[in-house]
């Protein structure tokens, strides 16, 4: 048995904790992010053995290395089987260039991978001690529905999602409001930032301590570990020979997805390069270029809306991985090894105009159907191959991540391609299901009253 891995805070001001504590806390008390003290390296032979394994088996092999001190083997096996009950298609586009579709989960977004696993791990720990948790989350659309669906009908956990009434699409709303059971959805007559402010205020309200509030947000370590898995999975499925290596392109916003990939590389996955593609929020490509970090405030509104992020919340983890130190405000206290970072990562910003061109040309040339986020990833890969001819050959395995289903963006797809993308099973029939949600003003006292009355 390996030693249990502890998790340190990137702000380095509090002691390290076990996986269980990091998972249930979310953010460290010093406002840092939890990171594993040791990143376990998987022997090459075991990585070779992943070939032929199914997704849940590989998910078990990866996550056991981080959580087995706290979660028994049989429980972990059950959790991954239950969480990953949907396919992960790998689509060949041309030569050895592939798109991995992470869009077959219940909300047709890659966030299902992380949310489903995190929810089940939380449920396990809570049941064990007969504890309860009330998850509060604010959403601009996608995160809320992924969390609501992932936690639906789990025991010992209730979920409250706040969304801005006028800022989410009808389909996004219905993905949350047709569930019921342990999921309470509340619309706020305000903007996303107002919803977030209400949630934050509740977290710091001592009178609500008795509710055991938690956030399940994107910085939770329980969301990061599941995002390591699909990098190993796709490589196992697509490698042709023992000496193969791979280039991944990851459309990025808060950098949780790419962080999973970076950890996979540290664990021994032979990744030659990560292409980190952003939309017009180009704070990271600029940082990688110049070594100087400037947030973008406010963030720019692009069509790849889930990546409209002016300061990626996982960036402190990336900096930490390269020996540097960045606090929660984005201030760098110790510089990371930029040279090493540039060896591992190529980063590029793709404009909305370019994103639309990519959606069109990918479909015309290859019958490849992309939505705006996946198009940013696909475009970034080709920008890299154009600038780096030494990587541009037929054999080189390249995998670009598609993070949402094209049918979630019907207006864009129809406008550009003149087709109506077919809905995945998970999104079908939503129109006919009854909706149930509360409506609220942008008023903290009203929110607090609802929480106290209901829970």
Binding residues for ligand PLP (CB under 6 A): 109, 111, 142, 251-257, 306-307, 373, 403-404
Q: Closest separation between CB of residue 376 and ligand PLP, Å?
A: 8
Closest CB 438 distance from ligand PLP, rounded Å: 25
Distance CA 160, CA 184 (A): 5
Q: How far is CA 454 from CA 120, 138, 180, 448, in A?
A: 24, 18, 14, 10
The nearest distance, CB 318 to ligand PLP, in angstroms, is 11
In the complex, minimum distance from the CB of residue 102 to ligand PLP, in angstroms, rounded to a whole number: 9
Shortest distance, position 451 Cβ to ligand PLP, whole Å: 27
Report d(CA 58, CA 50) in Å as an integer: 7
In the bound complex, what is the minimum distance in angstroms from residue 312's beta carbon to ligand PLP? Answer: 7
Q: Is 361:369 a contact under the CB 8 Å cutoff?
A: no
Q: Which 8-state DSSP code applies to residue 291?
A: S
DSSP characters over 141-210: SHHHHHHHHHHTT-TTEEEEEEEETTTS-HHHHHHHHT--TTEEEEEEES-HHHHHHHHHHHHT-GGGGG
Question: 32 vs 312, which CB is nearer to ligand PLP?
Answer: 312
Cβ at position 434, least distance to ligand PLP in Å: 26
Residue among 211 and 370 whose Cβ is closer to ligand PLP: 370
CB of 134 or CB of 302, closer to ligand PLP: 302
CB atoms within 10 A of CB 310: 16
- Measured from the CB atom, the residue of 262 and 307 that comes closer to ligand PLP is 307
CA–CA separation, 354 and 96 (whole Å) = 24
C-beta of residue 144 within 8 angstroms of C-beta of residue 161 = yes
In the bound complex, what is the minimum distance in angstroms from residue 142's beta carbon to ligand PLP? 5
Compare residues 105 and 253 and give the one whose CB is closer to ligand PLP.
253
Q: Read off the tokens for 31.
A: 């406002």
Distance between CA atoms of residues 13 and 18, nearest Å = 16
Closer to ligand PLP by Cβ: residue 50 or 251? 251
Nearest alpha carbon to residue 288 among 299, 273, 305, 307: 273
Q: How far is the CB of 284 from ligand PLP (least distance, A)?
A: 10
How big is the chain, counted in residues?
Answer: 455
Q: Which is nearer to ligand PLP, 32 or 256 (CB)?
A: 256
CB 180 within 8 A of CB 149: no
CA–CA dist 254, 275 (Å, integer): 15
If DSSP codes are grouped into helix, strand and coil, which group holds residue 300? coil
Identity of the residue, 134 or 261, whose beta carbon is nearer to ligand PLP in the bound complex: 261
Q: Which CB, 154 or 401, lies closer to ligand PLP?
A: 401
């Amino acid at each position: 048995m390996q030693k249990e891995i502890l998790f340190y805070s990137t702000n380095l001001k509090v002691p390290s904790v076990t996986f269980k504590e990091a998972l249930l806390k979310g953010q460290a008390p010093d406002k840092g992010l939890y990171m594993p003290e040791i990143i376990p390296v998987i022997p090459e032979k075991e990585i070779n053995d992943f070939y032929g394994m199914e997704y849940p088996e590989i998910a078990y092999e990866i996550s056991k290395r981080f959580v087995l001190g706290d979660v028994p083997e049989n429980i972990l096996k059950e959790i991954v089987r239950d969480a990953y009950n949907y396919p992960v298609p790998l689509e060949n586009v041309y030569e050895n260039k592939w798109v991995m579709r992470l869009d077959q989960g219940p909300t047709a977004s890659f966030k299902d991978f992380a949310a489903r696993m995190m929810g089940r791990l939380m449920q396990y720990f809570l049941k064990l001690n007969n504890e309860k948790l009330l998850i509060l989350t604010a959403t601009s659309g996608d995160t809320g529905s992924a969390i609501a669906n992932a936690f639906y009908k789990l025991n010992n956990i209730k979920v409250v999602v706040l969304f801005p009434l006028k800022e989410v699409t009808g389909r996004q709303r219905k993905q949350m409001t047709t569930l019921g059971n342990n999921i309470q959805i509340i619309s706020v007559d305000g903007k996303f930032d107002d919803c977030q402010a209400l949630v934050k205020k509740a977290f710091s309200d001592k009178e609500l301590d008795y509710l055991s509030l938690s956030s399940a947000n994107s910085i939770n370590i329980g969301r990061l570990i599941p995002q390591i898995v699909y990098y190993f999975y796709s490589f196992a499925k697509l490698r042709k020979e023992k000496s193969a290596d791979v280039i991944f392109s990851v459309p990025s916003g808060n950098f949780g997805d790419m962080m999973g990939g970076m950890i996979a590389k540290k664990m021994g996955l032979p990744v030659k390069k990560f292409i980190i593609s952003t939309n017009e929020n180009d704070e990271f490509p600029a940082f990688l270029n110049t070594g100087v970090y400037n947030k973008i405030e406010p963030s720019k509104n692009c069509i790849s809306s889930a990546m409209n992020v002016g300061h990626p919340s996982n960036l402190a983890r990336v900096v930490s991985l390269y020996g540097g130190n960045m606090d929660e405000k984005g201030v760098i206290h110790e510089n990371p090894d930029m040279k090493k970072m540039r060896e591992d990562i190529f980063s590029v910003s793709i404009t909305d105009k370019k994103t639309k061109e990519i959606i069109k040309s990918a479909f015309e040339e290859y019958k490849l159907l992309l939505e705006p986020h996946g198009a940013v990833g696909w475009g970034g890969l080709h920008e890299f191959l154009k600038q780096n001819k030494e990587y541009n050959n037929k054999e080189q395995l390249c995998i670009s991540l598609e993070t949402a289903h094209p049918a979630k963006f019907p207006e864009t797809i129809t406008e550009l391609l003149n087709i109506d993308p077919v809905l995945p099973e998970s999104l079908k029939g939503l129109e006919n299901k009854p909706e149930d949600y509360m409506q609220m003003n942008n008023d903290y006292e009203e929110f607090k009253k609802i929480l106290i009355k209901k829970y």
